[in-house]
Amino acid sequence: MHKFGMVALIGPPNAGKSTLMNQYLGQKVAIVSPRPQTTRNRISGILTNDDAQIVFLDTPGIHQLRGKMNRFLLESAWNALAGSDVVVVLLDAALYAAKPHLMDKELKPLVKPVNESGRPVLIAVNKVDRVKDKPTMLPVMARASELWPEAEFVPISALRGQGTDELLSRVLEKVPEGPPMFPEDQISTAPVRFMAAEIIREKLFYSLRQELPYTTAVEIEVWDEESRKDMVLVNAVIYTAQKNHKGMIIGKQGSNLKKIGTEARKEIAELLDCKVHLELWVKVRSGWTEDPGFLRAMGLGE
Ligand SMILES: Nc1nc2c(ncn2[C@@H]2O[C@H](COP(=O)(O)OP(=O)(O)OP(=O)(O)O)[C@@H](O)[C@H]2O)c(=O)[nH]1
Ligand SMILES: [Mg+2]
């Protein structure tokens, strides 16, 4: 008997969805950052073993923010839920143990759609490694089981890989029978160009303060594998919605952009397993987060 299924990873921003997917795949397919709303697309990660293939659908965090980009992000998360066989909801247990009042507020938009999805639901109570005082987790578990009475609960640390085997075996129990749909060595359906743009965006998240990363987007303009035998040439544009942010992204004498470029180039080279020449440009495109055409061109929305 072979199993095949789509497993949606859903949860509030910053809950650890992308970290969990990367943990299962043993490599970074989705970018991760300490800030909320890092993931902007539905990103697949394919886990293949002898008797099962699971396609994890990592999704943007479910939030209550306004604006077109945010609406597009929610749409892709809900589409993942609709296209899944099993739902895994991730919660940041460390956050809710320390700040219980945030729990209902953050989970509110998730409760009904998940309960009404008609799919088996597993709740991954994440970041348990950060909970020093374990009894503070009890009210979190109690409240979560009120919100999702039908669900099963598994405490995990996505970062350290604790409880993740248990979670996976519960997922496998619920996944339907079916043949594999992807070759066993395929790890994602995302093209490498997209992954390269994401790597650059991740470096932006780490190098920029405050709200800046939320109004940046990355587009690969040139991807040239032909001109040089031993090297891939990549030109990427970093878009920012505000003129005064351009200077911050570039930094004094280009120092910030240089740092982003160096870090991103190393990681893209690792991904491609070959040398990479990366050039980065910064362009201002005011109001892009409200421009549906541009959002779609950036791969946001479906
Ligand atoms: N200590 C600890 N940190 C974790 C764990 N899981 C995730 N994190 C951290 O939490 C932060 C957010 O992780 P992400 O995987 O980007 O979270 P996400 O749910 O994908 O976030 P969005 O894409 O913004 O919705 C990162 O700094 C992770 O390193 C965990 O089990 N333990
Ligand atoms: Mg994410």
Question: Residues 244-298: pLDDT tens digits?
Answer: 899 999 999 999 999 999 999 999 999 999 999 999 999 999 999 999 999 998 8
CATH 3.30.300.20 fits 192-297, yes or no: yes
- At residue 132, does pLDDT exceed 80? yes
Kindly write down the DSSP assignment for every residue of 282-301, as one continuous string.
EEE-TTGGG-HHHHHHTT--
Ligand 1 centre distance from Cα of residue 155 (Å): 15
Ligand 2 centre distance from Cα of residue 228 (Å): 34
Tell me the C-alpha distance between 236 and 280, whole Å: 5
CATH 3.40.50.300 in the chain, residues?
A: 3-174
Atom of ligand 1 nearest to the CA of 58: 20
Pocket test for ligand 1, best of 159, 160, 204 (most atoms within 8 A of CB): 159
CATH 3.30.300.20 in the chain, residues?
A: 192-297
Q: Whose C-alpha lies nearest to ligand 1, atom 13?
A: 16
Atom of ligand 1 nearest to the CA of 34: 27
The stretch 55-62 carries a mean pLDDT of 97
Question: Which residues' Cβ are closer than 6 Å to ligand 1?
Answer: 11, 13-19, 32-34, 36-39, 60-61, 126-127, 129-130, 157-159
Pocket test for ligand 1, best of 19, 42, 58 (most atoms within 8 A of CB): 19
Tell me the C-alpha distance between 181 and 109, whole Å: 32
Tell me the C-alpha distance between 251 and 212, whole Å: 13
Residues 268/196, Cβ–Cβ less than 8 Å:
yes
pLDDT band at 61 (very low <50, low <70, confident <90, very high): very high
The C-alpha R_g of the chain, in whole angstroms, comes to 20
Ligand nearest to the CA of residue 61, numbered in listed order: 1
Residues 93, 28, 58, 41, CA torsion sign:
positive
What is the pTM for the complete model shown? 0.96
CATH superfamily assigned to domain 3-174: P-loop containing nucleotide triphosphate hydrolases (3.40.50.300)
Q: What is the pLDDT of residue 302?
A: 67
Q: What is the pLDDT of residue 214?
A: 83
Q: Whose C-alpha lies nearest to ligand 1, atom 12?
A: 14
Ligand nearest to the CA of residue 129, numbered in listed order: 1
The stretch 95-104 carries a mean pLDDT of 96
